[in-house]
């Protein structure tokens, strides 16, 4: 079915409750908000999540109002500039032709010294050469153009690069695949070369339902993004090449991200962790279970929230649930109670007033 504003509410609440989702986006485009939908999405995200936000505006209309909402939420433009709580995601039409709306938005946030992601839509065999190297050259040129323009407007304006990787297209279906094996590492290397944050993808799928393909692609894309050094990894929970969203997949990906963070955290070696004195004391008995050292560190061992590790009998007697069923139960648990208020009532009302003003203005202009 088509998504509505309530789906955006549930997506924001669900992502806000995930301990390993570090920022949120509007997961669904509300079909029941035909006017100022981007402004309404920001209203929802600010109302139902306290996490940083990556946002998109459909055009120039609504962009000033969305920024105004962010300023109101932190009680001032200076506060937002000093500690930005959101980043604007921009998609100019190609690496060499930058449409007016994208440039206007880029210059607007640069003037305010607010961060943005600038990613030209460069498609292999469509708007650039089909070869990966040629596509990267076109994409990188577009990224650098946006970066230079932002710096000319306001030196030091924060800009993240979107891996400088051109997207592919499946020539059999003419669908842009969300998860392909094209090495995003090369684009990330360009971001690292320029010493800029790298914005890339992970946790999504081309599948139409939450099946084995969805889990495989979500896992592989998250693993690649993490291993290659991505800083802002987005589109968690998206399916059908970005046309469909799944809250259950968000919950499952949160578990995958937790696992990946644990696997990448490194190893600390010191007197306490090497524990030679503990080894000397307990090695001959072979019993470390009751050691004080074990008690001190037992909670450092990674523990899943969703993965089942019981034996078959215990699992069966507990309901024999699948991972998808456990993910759905977690979503129901999150969405069951009344949402906690994120913002003070007076701030929430100011944000609602801005949204209504934008709706009225856009309705009047048609």
Is 137 inside any structural domain? Answer: yes
Q: Are residues 260 and 297 in the same domain?
A: no
State the pTM of this model.
Answer: 0.92
Q: Are residues 166 and 301 in the same domain?
A: no
Q: Are residues 90 and 163 in the same domain?
A: yes
Q: Are residues 321 and 253 in the same domain?
A: no
**Cα-based distances in Å from 111 to 64, 118, 153, 181, 366:** 12, 15, 6, 38, 28
Q: How many CB atoms lie within 10 A of CB 344?
A: 11
Predicted confidence (pLDDT) at residue 365 exceeds the cutoff of 90 = no
Predicted confidence (pLDDT) at residue 183 exceeds the cutoff of 70 = no
The residues near 316 (Cβ < 8 Å, ≥ 6 apart) are none
Q: Per the structure block, which two tokens stand in for 53?
A: 């936000």
Range of the domain at 295: 271-335
| Predicted local confidence at residue 163, as pLDDT | 66
Beta-strand relationship, 116-118 and 159-161: parallel
Q: Are residues 94 and 123 in the same domain?
A: yes
Across 137-154, average pLDDT: 94
CATH number at residue 118: 3.20.20.480
Q: Per the structure block, which two tokens stand in for 25?
A: 């986006």
Across 239-267, average pLDDT: 94
Is 340 inside any structural domain? Answer: no
Is 328 inside any structural domain? Answer: yes
Is 44 inside any structural domain? Answer: yes
Is 77 inside any structural domain? Answer: yes
| Predicted local confidence at residue 175, as pLDDT | 83
Number of domains in the chain: 2
Is 240 inside any structural domain? Answer: yes
| Predicted local confidence at residue 127, as pLDDT | 83
Is 220 inside any structural domain? Answer: yes
Q: Are residues 329 and 256 in the same domain?
A: no
Q: Are residues 205 and 308 in the same domain?
A: no
């Amino acid at each position: 079915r088509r998504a509505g504003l309530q789906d955006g509410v549930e997506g924001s609440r669900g992502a806000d409750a995930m301990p390993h989702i570090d920022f949120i986006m509007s997961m669904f485009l509300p079909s029941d908000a035909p006017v100022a939908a981007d402004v309404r999405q920001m209203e929802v995200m600010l109302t139902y999540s306290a996490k940083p936000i990556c946002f998109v505006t459909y055009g120039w209309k609504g962009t000033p109002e969305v920024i105004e909402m962010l300023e109101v939420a932190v009680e001032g433009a200076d506060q937002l500039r000093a500690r930005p709580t959101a980043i604007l995601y921009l998609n100019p039409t190609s690496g060499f032709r930058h449409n007016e709306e994208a440039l206007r938005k880029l210059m607007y946030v640069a003037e305010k010294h607010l961060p943005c992601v600038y990613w030209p839509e460069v498609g292999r065999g469509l708007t650039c050469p089909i070869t990966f190297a040629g596509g990267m050259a076109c994409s990188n040129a577009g990224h650098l153009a946006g970066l230079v323009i932002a710096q000319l407007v306001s030196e030091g304006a924060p800009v993240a690069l979107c891996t400088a990787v051109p997207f592919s297209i499946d020539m059999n279906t003419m669908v842009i695949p969300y998860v392909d094996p094209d090495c995003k590492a090369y684009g990330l290397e360009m971001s690292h070369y320029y010493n800029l944050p790298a914005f890339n993808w992970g946790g999504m799928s081309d599948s139409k339902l939450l099946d084995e393909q969805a889990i495989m692609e979500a896992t592989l894309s998250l693993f690649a993004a993490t291993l290659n050094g991505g800083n802002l990894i987005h589109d968690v929970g998206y399916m059908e090449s970005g046309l469909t969203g799944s809250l259950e997949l968000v919950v499952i990906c949160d578990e995958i991200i937790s696992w990946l963070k644990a696997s990448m955290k490194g190893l600390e070696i010191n007197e306490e962790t090497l524990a030679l004195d503990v080894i000397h004391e307990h090695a001959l008995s072979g019993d470390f279970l009751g050691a004080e050292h074990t008690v001190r560190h037992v909670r450092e061992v990674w523990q899943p929230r969703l993965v089942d590790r019981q034996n078959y009998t215990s699992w069966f007697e507990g309901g024999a649930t699948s991972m998808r069923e456990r993910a759905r139960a977690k979503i129901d648990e999150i969405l069951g109670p009344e949402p906690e208020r994120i913002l003070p009532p007076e701030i929430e009302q100011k944000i609602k007033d801005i949204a209504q003003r934008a709706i009225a203005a856009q309705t009047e202009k048609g």
